[in-house]
Amino acid sequence: MDVILVPGLWLDASSWDAVISSLTAAGHRPRPLTLPGPAVGDLVIDDWVDAVVGEIDRLGTEVVLVGHSGGGNVVWGAADRRPDRVARVVLVDSAVPPAGATISEFPVDEGVVHFPGWDFFDDDDVSDIDADTRQRTARQMVDVPGRVPTSPLTLTDERRYGIPVTILSGRLDAETLPRALADWGAFAREFDRLRDVEVEHLDSGHWPQFSQPERFAARLTAAVR
């Protein structure tokens, strides 16, 4: 199975390095992506979706889409565009976004969003990332096109609800995730319309690929099917 791996904000294809050998050993073909950066132009999130759709079309096979954090919005948009080509969507500490959803708002500096540093995030998200890993990964972060995090996601094809979805959640499980989504309005309605969804608790922060790479690789590989 071709597995397209889509990173979250500030990350590139190298953020998936920890899972490549596990997926390959299981007989899959991992395809980690680096999404178009600021040098490409004035991009919005639908341009990132286009990049993933282009990879699906290039491969010409059925694929599994994996998206971490804001990359979950991207892969859900791509699944909406190619529902007949996506065998499963795996979301890593993310939720299925509704039409018009945005990722989040961050300060924009000369048209880009810089990585704000690990101290910017809630302790629950980063407490399991040690100091050495923080230093190493911070050096690898890339700028994000300024409009991507706040531009609305386009979704139009209700066939997306029939695609199997696995959510690998850092802090929540199958019981607590729906309760949390109840406060998110349209996100809850999008989740409720999924016909085949699994929620697995990772017991991690927001970046398990950095904080527990071997364990996360095993969990992700088990979710790809």
Among 75, 62, 60, which Cα is nearest to 6's?
75
Look at residues 151, 184, 167 and name the one whose alpha carbon lies nearest to residue 45: 151
Whether 39 has a pLDDT exceeding 90, the answer reads no
Calculate the alpha carbon distances from 31 to 55, 58, 152, 163, 180 in Å. Answer: 9, 12, 26, 20, 32
DSSP structure class, residue 109: B
| pLDDT at position 217 | 98
Which of 119, 36, 45 lies closest to 75 in space, CA to CA? 45
CB 32 within 8 A of CB 93: no
185: left (phi over 0), alpha (psi -120 to 50) or beta: left
Q: What is the CATH number of the domain that holds 118?
A: 3.40.50.1820
Report pLDDT for 153.
Answer: 98
Q: Is the per-residue pLDDT at 65 higher than 90?
A: yes
| Boundaries of domain holding 98 | 2-223
Could you tell me the pLDDT band of residue 124, with boundaries at 50, 70 and 90? very high
- Helix H or strand E segment including 56: helix 45-59
pLDDT the model gives residue 218: 98
Share of the chain above pLDDT 90, in %: 97
Cα 40 from chain centre = 21
Averaged pLDDT of the chain? 97
Given a cut of 90, is residue 86 above it in pLDDT? yes
Least confident of 27-31, 54-58, 69-73, 182-186: 182-186
**pLDDT per position as a tens digit, 125-143:** 999 999 999 999 999 999 9
The stretch 169-180 carries a mean pLDDT of 96
Domain count, the chain: 1
Query: Does an H or E element contain 71, and which?
Result: helix 71-81
pLDDT over 90 (residue 186): yes
3-class DSSP state of 223? helix
Query: What's the full length of the chain, in residues?
Result: 225
Q: Report the pLDDT averaged over residues 93-100.
A: 98
Which amino acid belongs to residue 60? G
Q: Indicate the helix (H) or strand (E) that contains 63.
A: strand 63-68
pTM: 0.97
Q: Are 177 and 169 in contact (CB under 8 A)?
A: yes
Q: Residue 85: what are its φ and ψ, rounded to 5°? A: -115, -5
Q: What confidence score (pLDDT) does residue 120 get? A: 96
Q: How confident is the model at residue 41 (pLDDT cuts 50, 70, 90)?
A: confident
Which pLDDT belongs to residue 203? 97
Burial 124-153 (b: 16+ CB within 10 A, else e): ebbebbeeeebeebeeebbbbbbbbbebeb
Residue 180 has pLDDT above 90, yes or no: yes
